[in-house]
Amino acid sequence: MIVYHFCTSINEANAYILIDPETKQALLIDVPEWTPMMEQVLVEQQAQLKGVFITHEHYDHISGLQKLRQRYNGLKQYPEKDFFHNTNMNKTATLKLGDYEGQIISLPGHTPESVGLYIDGIIFTGDALFAGSVGGTISSLQAKQQIEAIKTKILTLPENTLIFPGHGPITLVSTEKKYNPFLQP
């Protein structure tokens, strides 16, 4: 799996392009904005954009969606809307990208529909979990729900799992377990 990271001008939100090097299928994770540099990566890698994965629907993660859809008519969006109709926090679904299969994980708290994507030893967490921090919530109930989701669905992944957040630098599960002050007992 090849991962390209883009720190965008919209609140310095991260966007990522994943490419299966064998099949050349690509997936965009969040789209704060659609830039010529993102297009250039797809062209240079001769990759076909299969879809866009949205971690949550705050403007700084979806502002480029309309422009992206104009460029790629009929582009599939993940997760599908019916994923959110079930409020079961343990709900998961899969996403296929070339020869890779990812798991869509519900991570409610920052927003009720927040999700992550775990694929090939990497988890894309949106604004649920950052390096040394967590995303903001609007109530103590949502904060508790978010911490529980992080502890049961992210920190249980292998220690060397890379965490690609919606803002800020990449980190590791082992680092967040040990040093993130929001996740300490």
Print the SS3 string covering 122-185.
EEEEECCEECCEECCCCCHHHHHHHHHHHHHHHCCCCCCCEEEECECCCEEHHHHHHHCHHHCC
Residues 6, 40: contact at Cβ < 8 Å?
A: no
Residues 53, 78: contact at Cβ < 8 Å?
A: yes
* Angle (nearest 5°) at CA 17 between 11 and 23: 170
Distance of alpha carbon 32 from alpha carbon 90, whole angstroms: 27
- Tell me 34's DSSP state: -
CA 157 to chain centre: 15
The third-level CATH classification (topology) of the domain covering 2-183 is Metallo-beta-lactamase; Chain A (3.60.15)
For the purposes of burial, counting CB atoms within 10 Å of the CB of 35, is it exposed (0-12), middle (13-18) or buried (19 or more)? middle
Q: Assign residue 83 a region: left if phi > 0, alpha if psi is -120 to 50, beta otherwise?
A: alpha
| Matching residue, tokens 């993660």 | 61
Distance of alpha carbon 147 from alpha carbon 183, whole angstroms: 7
Q: Assign residue 170 a region: left if phi > 0, alpha if psi is -120 to 50, beta otherwise?
A: beta
> Residue 35 contacts by C-beta under 8 Å, 6 or more apart in sequence?
6, 8, 64
185 residues of the chain, pLDDT tens digit each: 999 999 999 999 999 999 999 999 999 999 999 999 999 999 999 999 999 999 998 999 999 999 999 999 889 999 987 666 555 555 668 999 999 999 999 999 999 889 999 999 999 999 999 999 999 999 999 999 999 999 999 999 999 999 999 999 999 999 999 999 999 87
Tell me the pLDDT tens digit for each residue of 44-93. Answer: 999 999 999 999 989 999 999 999 999 998 899 999 876 665 555 556 68
| Matching residue, tokens 């240079």 | 44
